[in-house]
A and B are shown apart, each in its own frame.
Chain A
Amino acid sequence: MLAPALVILAAFYAYPTLQNLALSFTDLSLLRLKRGGNWVGLDNYREFLASPDFGHILFNTVIWLTALSVVLRLLIGLGMALLLHSPVLRRMRLSTVAKLAILVPWATPPIVAVVIWRWMLDAQNGIVNAVLLRLGIVDNPVAFLANLRTVWPSIVTIIVWNTVPLVALSLLASLQSIPDELNEAAALDGASRWQQFRHITLPFLVPTITVLTLMSVFWTFNNFVYVWLATGAGPGTYTNVLATEVYIKAFVDFRVGYSSAVGMVMALIMAIFGVVYYRLVAPRELASSL
């Protein structure tokens, strides 16, 4: 029974991974694909880990790209879910419209989302600059995606805008599964809104948040599209992350072997994160919610 699954797993996961691992020990170049690469042992790993850019790329990937955007996504998603679940929207008969509206960013393909935001953030013709100038918040147009102070917040904004609906809708589904009687009983016992949220709502949401965190971290850490399309890892290499480094080394600098080593480092980091998260964080959170 398991054989087809094992075959598929071997063909589409194990083989490419092992092939990539083998390439990472060579100096294969895109200009020498037919001839193959020479064995260089751990040279590619040594060069990457000792490179002055390694710390910068890792910081960008872990802090800016992943941690910040995942935390913001969860917080904003939670806020949106609570708003969608609140009786206020239902009373105003806006509940369905609001649910449909938040689906729009989720239904927008990332490439389209980035292109839309690039135009909106454009210094010369973008609507964001037009509004900021009109309101007198800035004196001169801001090149959001070219300025070192604004480029990361801009990328994080694009990612969060495009991906927050999934978090919001997932949490909304969890909220709708909480029996109303629990909150009603707590209110009768004198619990404040905050206490109800802290001791009833949040524990119910923890399993969903745990899974969403894990999935979001994997998706975001490995994501290439947002950074590459928004800035091309620039200005300079300021927004370079591990995924764009893999691409740059393979398809811009043609160093396929080196790029494979960077890819293996990425996979290793995610594997360690996954193990730690499952062993330490997830069981505790899941246990405490039960």
Chain B
Amino acid sequence: MQRWMRNLAAALLGLACVIAVGSATAQKTVNLTFRFNDTEEKEMRAALDEFEKRNPGIKVALQRIGWRDARDQYLREAAAGQGPDVVHVAQVWVKEMGDAGALLPLNDLMKQAPLPNAGGFNDFVARELAQNKQGQIFGLPWTTDTWAMVYRTDVLKEAGITKLPDTWAELHDASAQITKRTGKAGFGFPAGGSASGAIWFLANYYWWSNGKAMVVQKPDGSYGMNLTAADIADSMRYFKSFLTEGHNPTSNLSASDAHDPAILQALVTGKQGIGTMPPNTYKQVLETYAAANPGKPLPFVSGPFPKGSVTRTSNIGGRMLGINVNSKNPAEAWKLVEYLASEPIFTKYYTTQFPAQTSLLKKVDFGKEMQGFAEQLGYARTWGPYSDGPAPIGAMWNATGRAFSAALSGQRTEQQAAEELLDNVAKLMKTRGQ
């Protein structure tokens, strides 16, 4: 009996030890959540697996969400004390999220565990979008890019076009010529007005190239608009002409994103001659074509945006990584952010994106098809006064998308839509977007 009791006691003691050791190990494990908005979920998971191997005490759950809902969902969660530890955000959202108290200032973390790359934070592009006027840094620039034009060389050839369009007028003519001579779509761009719509970029490139801008900083340091209703209506008429003349299918009125499947499919299958998109989307087009046509040369070329009366331009865009102000493990979250911004991520896992570090960007081999993007980067500008000014970029973006969609669909005349947009932006500038 005594022996039986001794055995039972020993077994219970052993079990208690196992539980204690297990629970101690569990206590040591830090669980992080990373919310990622791009489509490369599998690749990112592989990158996180590598991170977990290097950091045995940290586990990272990957959440995938679309860009369209990412901004407002995160703001709601952060306000309620919830949300992922590390969040993937557009560069232009960072300051407003930081000022809203949703992102943790990274200054202290950067001091405690400095960035390993030479040059530190100064090596990153778009730093002005990451910090507020008080010098608080709310995001680490992660990727950078700019949009460029994309052409199907075989469709251009079929239409008898021998040189890439150099001006907005030439782009219009080339688009019309493709449709007239081949029956295919010319410049098929997303013309819808939903949140984060692509027409915002095209409208701004058109305005900037003609010496105009929605937001400018005046010599006295205040901010104002350098656009009239006539300027806006003119740009609306230009883009609407592609739809009314039939070079851009009217179905694109319900497409808002550069990566809309209908547009990408039309480019891949050669039903459309011209498009515009960021480089990661273009890489997906190239990969899809290559997979569907093994061994065939890629019938694509990229080129810079057309010139206006002043210049040709686009914006330096990209994404950042931020840490949730509610994160219980900011040090570990920072470790993850540093890892995600390191070189192997861009060479091994997240290969559709360009790094936001100048030193890494210099090493990128753009390749023949991507040359237009490399050239366009030389013309690209920052959002500058848009991000420093009184109106949140996101709110102006949404208002512009809705106004263009109303004009392009015929719901409003160009003049009506332009005046409404002007009024809305003026209100936003006055009220700081409420």
Contact = CB atoms under 8 A, between A and B. Distances in A.
B256 interface: yes
Nearest to B81: A34
Interface in A17-73: 27, 29-35
Interface residues of A, number: 32
Contacts of B195: 252
Interface in A116-174: 122-125, 141, 143, 145-148
Main secondary structure of the interface of A (DSSP, over half): loop
A190 interface: no
A236 B249 contact: no
B92 to A, nearest CB: 13
Contact of A252 (B76, B100, B398, B407): B398
Interface string B105-123: 0000000000000000000
B433 A34 contact: no
Given A31-B392, A34-B79, A252-B72, A238 B253 contact: no
Contacts of B193: 232, 234-237
Nearest to B428: A253
Contacts of A238: 406, 409, 411
Nearest to B79: A33
A254 B72 contact: yes
B433 A234 contact: no
A145 B99 CA distance: 38
Contact of A145 (B254, B265, B392, B417): B254
B143 to A, nearest CB: 24
Nearest to A126: B251
Contacts of B262: 122, 124-125
Nearest to B249: A123
Given A231-B254, A251-B72, A252-B195, A236 B99 contact: no
Contact of A236 (B72, B75, B251, B409): B409
A41 B190 CA distance: 40
B79 A236 contact: no
Given A143-B250, A146-B254, A252-B72, A235 B266 contact: no
Interface in B259-309: 262, 265-266, 271
B76 A236 contact: no
A123 B72 contact: no
A143 B412 contact: no
A244 to B, nearest CB: 11
Nearest to B420: A52
Contacts of B265: 124-125
A28 B341 CA distance: 35
Interface string A216-233: 000000000000000110
Interface of B: 72, 75-76, 79, 96, 99-101, 192-195, 249-254, 256, 262, 265-266, 271, 392, 394-395, 398-399, 402-403, 405-412, 417, 433-434
Given A31-B96, A31-B433, 5 more contacts: A33-B79, A234-B405, A235-B192, A235-B406, A238-B409
Considering the complex of A and B, which 4 residue pairs feature the smallest CB-CB distances, nearest first?
A: A236-B406, A235-B409, A123-B251, A33-B79
